Structure 1
Amino acid sequence: MRAVLAQLGATTRELTEARTRLAKIDADEKAKAEADKITAADRFADELVTSGKIHDVTREHMRALHLENPTRAVALADSLPPAVPTTRVTPLDPKGPKGNPKVAASGNAWASLDAEERTHAEALWGTGLFTDRAVVADKARAAVAKARESA
């Protein structure tokens, strides 16, 4: 009887140790998958900055979008215009420079953008190809809507 109980106790310990090892392996795999996801988002944002499609100002926005939904982030990046070698980052004050009513009026278009649309609009504005923020806001809305439909 004691031998049977001893053997059952040993089997229970072995099962507990095996469960502990499996849980550790599972936690390690989840941590590695999360680290790989973060690395991929960093690489994605870095490539966009290096290619000149976005400026360093919008890097973190695109990184966060890639972490949240990689497919949508790639679709938005594909819709960005090609890099312009002489781009210049301007402050994205939604009210625009004082004394310029055209830019100040287009600030209302920027205020109505959601976070994802604003990220895309900032990337478009940073290319230096556009001078009217309202046009950029409309292009950003259209690109995000198209990306949402395709996702």
Structure 2
Amino acid sequence: MIFLRREFKVCLILIFLLGLGLVYVSHRQNSLQERVKQLDYLVIEAGMRIDNGTHIEQREVHLTRGATAYEGLERIASVGTKHYPGMGEYITRINGLSNDREKGKFWLIAKQENGEWKGLNVGAYSYRLKDGDNILFWYGKTKNAPFKTPG
């Protein structure tokens, strides 16, 4: 009889410990789900397109919220810049293709809105990406751009 009581007590303790374990696992799962939601908020997805006139490359990038178009471009291409006092950094080369003042060809930036490309009035360093943005870096003469340029 004493043995049954002892066995019963051990079973109760094991059931209690199992219950505590289940509560702990449930709490950890809820905590992990909250962290995933936070990370989902912190990460954005943007489309980056490079059109050099002979080849178009497009990729999706995942960046932290607040990232710039320049940071997105850096993820998919080799980029050269030049600093202009009072204006900041300016993209001068993408994947080895440099701006050409003599021919009047430059890298321009545009954003897709309602299915159409529209030139940005700020540079890639200043434009903060939003989730779902599609950004185009286009090379050529401003007058031939496939989008209206600001200014």
TM-score range, shorter-chain basis? 0.3 to 0.5
TM-score of the pair, normalised by structure 1: 0.37
Q: Which has the higher helix share?
A: 1
TM-score of the pair, normalised by structure 2: 0.37
Q: Which has the higher strand share?
A: 2
| Greater C-alpha Rg | 2
Larger RCO, structure (CA 8 Å, separation 6 or more): 2
